[in-house]
A and B are shown apart, each in its own frame.
Chain A
Amino acid sequence: MLSKIFKVFSRELKTARRDSMAILIIVMPVLFAFGITLFTPGLNDTTVNIALLESDDKSHIEYLEQFAKVEIFENREDVLTRVNKRDDMAAIMQKGDGYEIILQGNEPEIVEGYAKALNALYEIGANKEETTAAMYSFGHTVSPLKTMLVNMLISMTIMLSGMLIAISIVGEKADNTINAINVTPVSQTSFVIGKSMMGGLIAMVSIIISLFITGYYDINWFMIILVGLTSLILSLVVGFVQGLASDDVIEAAANVKMIMIPIAGSIVGYELLADKWQWTMYWSPFYWAYKANKLVLTKTADWPTILLCTGMVLVLSLVVYFLAKPKIREGLS
């Protein structure tokens, strides 16, 4: 049975490689991952940029470098050119006995205030070691927005795996090949598993590549793979059902996209609903998957919670699978 599953899987991969729609689906998550990597630094970078002159007092430069990203320029002209560029930059230069702060004018108030406060602290000789405040940290090293985008990317990739299955099934229907497989020693179960492996493996590889691209190297990979595999079940079931119900690739893709509604609803529910209303989303396996992925991505996950979440995903997905099973069996006969 295993060898037959592998043969079906190999053929699926070969066919997918020759299908432009399937290629697009495979590449899309990776492109999104690059997009997130390119744009999130701009969205989340709260570092204040300060331009200083080379001739400035060395102690002044060293002090500011502790608290801001400092760029040094040879002359005043270069400083002014730099300030006038698109990003937020405050220039601090000596003027008489004191300093002047030069801004482009469209910076957030916080940039102006930060530059002023930082220079004032230098002038009075304040030292960060002198603070009386005790430090506590939640340990979040990644921006919440980036985590949310990457988590959404994982959900989208899971959905795309269903789309791959649907496209593959539509292809089988167009070629009439389901009948041909049914008169070989390959069981329907082997056929379904082989096909699912194609969608599942591509999705898992895409997720792993996307996580590397977006910089999540040091997460718990066992947890992310466990959550990914359990979340795939539902998407694959939907892929089979929609593929069997659709007559062409466009219809299949459109039908599978409907799954975006519960996915989006689950994400919005998790992110925006108050704690006391979170239970209203417990019906959705995507809610549990999103929650588990978020815990893993923020490195706050523990095994009992992950097992609870994946258990819920598994149970809810299996309920859908058993409801859809007669339809899948009938469609593949």
Chain B
Amino acid sequence: MISVKNLSHSYSHDDKLAVNNISFEIEKGETFGFLGPSGAGKSTTQGILTGLLKQQEGEVIVAGYNVKKVQNERFNKIGVSFEQSNVYSKLTAKENLDYYAKLFDVPTRDSMELLHLVGLDGKENDRAGEFSKGMKHRLTFARSMLNNPELWFLDEPTTGLDPAIAATIKDIIREQAAKGTTSFLTTHNMYIADELCDRVAFIIDGEIKLIDTPKNLKLQYGRKLIDIEYIENGKVVKETLKTVTEEDRRRIGEIVNNHDIQTMHSKEATLEEIFIQVTGRELV
């Protein structure tokens, strides 16, 4: 569904590259996570894939179209949910969706059904300008589904949403994936990526450091850890130790035998910890 070969991009048209020679492929029906901290090159890559940024170097095929050529009809197959909400504040929620629905050349979903799906039923006649940030974000998300996209770009789909709504959004993404929609999910939230993505790519400083499934990454980089809180000299001390290294196992024994244990929890390495381990950088 997406094929990217040797893609590079510079905003200043010099050797300062926002995206540096990246290549990847996304299969039809796959949910692909593009993960990295702010300024890593995620939005630049998505901008090029969606045609919002002009492609400079490399080859990019999206939904069968070469993005270098202007072919607006490709957007009949594509849906884009932006990180920053972008709806007409002077139109109502329903008017916003109905307007965009008319711009597509393919059958579109009912605006009321979509508003219900994202929890905005009852707000259909309220102007979007009166909406909270989260409501605008949901309306933007709903709009991206209007044309039943084969390929769905999701930029930080749950940012700024309360946990209940975020869970609803994640369920919708899962349902779409089950229906065969290909998703390109850009986020710095590793938990969402872990929950939703078939494969993830770690991008930092414009370069892709690795691409794999979350499961493989955990197997390859994850080490089982134990968090122990114990009392030493009247103070609570916390240590995180690996269960797979001899030294740490000995240390666990020492603590258990010689100290008063307050809490002890075993845990798997998270995708975030793996990201830090692989890239040496935090997801800020």
A, B bound: yes
Contacts of A177 in B (CB 8 A): 86-88
Which of A7, A15, A184, A187 gathers most chain B CB within 10 Å? A184
Check A176–B143 contact: CB distance below 8 A.
no
Residue of A nearest to B78 (CB): A183
Q: Does B236 contact A (CB under 8 A)?
A: no
Contact A11 to B88, CB < 8 A, known contacts A183-B80, A185-B105, A186-B103: yes
Q: What separation, in Å, do the CA atoms of A174 and B90 have in the docked complex?
A: 11
Q: B-facing mask of A179-205, CB < 8 A → 1, else 0?
A: 111111111000000000000000000
**A197–B73 CA distance with the chains assembled, in angstroms:** 23
Residues in B neighbouring A184, C-beta threshold 8 A: 72, 75, 100, 103-104
B91-110 contacts to A, CB under 8 A, are: 91, 95, 99-100, 102-105
Q: Is B82 close to A, CB under 8 A? A: yes
CA distance A14 to B98 in the complex (A): 13
List residues of A (220-237) whose CB comes within 8 Å of B's CBs: none
Nearest B residue to A190 via CB reads B72
Alpha-carbon separation in the docked complex, A238 to B147 (Å): 35
User: With A176-B82, A184-B103, A185-B104 known to touch, is A15 a contact of B75 (CB < 8 Å)?
Assistant: no
A41 CB to closest chain B CB (Å) equals 41
Q: Is A146 an interface residue (CB 8 A)?
A: no
Query: Does B125 count as interface, using CB distance less than 8 angstroms?
Result: no
B85 CB–A CB distance under 8 Å:
yes
Q: CB of B6 within 8 A of chain A? A: no
Nearest CB of B to A328, in Å: 16
Q: Do the beta carbons of A7 and B88 come within 8 Å of each other?
A: no
Q: Decide if B76 touches A185 in the complex (CB within 8 Å).
A: yes
Q: Is B168 an interface residue (CB 8 A)?
A: no
Secondary structure class of chain B's binding surface, majority of residues: loop
Q: Does B50 contact A (CB under 8 A)?
A: yes
Q: A185 — which chain B residues lie within 8 A by C-beta?
A: 72-73, 75-76, 103-105
Contact B89 A183 (CB under 8 A): no
Which residue in chain A gives the minimum CB-CB distance to B47? A179
A175 to B140, CA, bound (A): 11
**Min CB gap B2→A, angstroms:** 15
C-alpha spacing A175/B87, complex, angstroms: 6
Interface string of A1-34 (1 = CB under 8 A from B): 0001001000100110011000000000000000
Q: How large is the interface on A (under 10, 10 to 19, 20 to 34, 35 or more residues)?
A: 20 to 34
Write out the residue numbers on chain B whose beta carbons fall within 8 Å of the beta carbon of A176.
82, 84-86
The interface residues of chain B lying within 8 Å CB-to-CB of A15 are: 88, 90-91
Q: List A224-254 residues whose CB lies under 8 Å from chain B.
A: none
Set of chain B residues within 8 Å of A186, measured between Cβ atoms: 72, 103
Q: Is B264 interfacial (CB 8 A cutoff)?
A: no
| Complex Cα–Cα for A18 and B105 (A) | 28
B80 neighbours in A (Cβ, 8 Å):
180, 183
Is the contact region of chain A dominated by helix, strand, or loop, or is it mixed? helix
Query: In the complex, which of the residues B52, B82, B95, B102 contacts A7, with contact meaning CB atoms closer than 8 Å?
Result: B102
CB distance from A16 to the nearest CB of B (A): 9
Q: Does A127 contact B (CB under 8 A)?
A: no
Q: CA–CA, A15 to B103, complex, Å? A: 17
- Chain A's closest residue to B85 (CB) is A176
* Distance between Cα atoms of A183 and B73 in the complex (Å): 10
**A179 CA / B53 CA spacing, docked (Å):** 10
Closest approach, in angstroms, between the C-beta of A176 and any C-beta of chain B?
Answer: 4
Question: Which of chain A's residues have a CB closer than 8 A to the CB of B95?
Answer: 14
Query: Does B86 contact A187, Cβ atoms closer than 8 Å?
Result: no
Q: Contacts A179-B52, A183-B52, A183-B75 hold; do A7 and B103 have CB atoms under 8 A apart? A: yes
A180 to B82 CA separation, bound complex (whole angstroms): 8
CB of A137 within 8 Å of the partner chain: no
Q: Which residue of B lies closest to A1 (CB)?
A: B72
Contact with B along A157-187 (1 / 0, CB 8 A): 0000000000000010011110111111111
Contact of B51 with A by CB under 8 A: yes
Once A4-B103, A7-B102, A11-B99 are accepted as A-B contacts, the answer to whether A182 and B87 lie under 8 Å apart by CB is no
Q: How far is the CA of A187 from the CA of B71 in the complex (A)?
A: 9
For residue A187, which residues in chain B have a CB less than 8 angstroms away from its CB? 70, 72
CB-based contact A174/B102 at 8 Å: no
Q: Which residues of B contact A175 (CB under 8 A)?
A: 86-89
Q: Which residue of A lies closest to B104 (CB)?
A: A185
A278 to B51 Cα, complex, angstroms: 50
Q: Which B residue sits closest to A181, measured CB to CB?
A: B103
- Residue from B73, B75, B140 having most chain A Cβ neighbours under 10 A: B75
Contacts of A182 in B (CB 8 A): 51-52
CA distance A93 to B85 in the complex (A): 81
Chain B, Cβ-Cβ closest to A180: B86
Tell me how far the C-beta of A69 lies from the nearest C-beta in chain B, rounded to whole angstroms: 53
Which residues on the A side are within 8 Å of B52 (C-beta)? 179, 182-183, 333
C-alpha gap A11/B90 in the complex (Å): 10
Q: How far is the CB of B21 from chain A (nearest CB, A)?
A: 24
Instruction: Report how far A175 CA is from B75 CA in the complex, Å.
Output: 21
Residues of B within 8 A of A181 (CB): 103
Across the two chains, which residue of chain B brings its CB closest to A187? Answer: B72
The distance from the CB of A45 to the nearest CB of chain B, in whole angstroms, is 46
4 further A-B contacts with Cβ under 8 Å, apart from A4-B103, A175-B87, A183-B52, are: A177-B87, A180-B100, A183-B78, A184-B104
6 A-B pairs, CB-CB below 8 angstroms?
A11-B91, A171-B90, A177-B87, A181-B103, A184-B72, A185-B75
Top 3 closest A-B pairs, CB basis? A176-B86, A183-B80, A184-B103
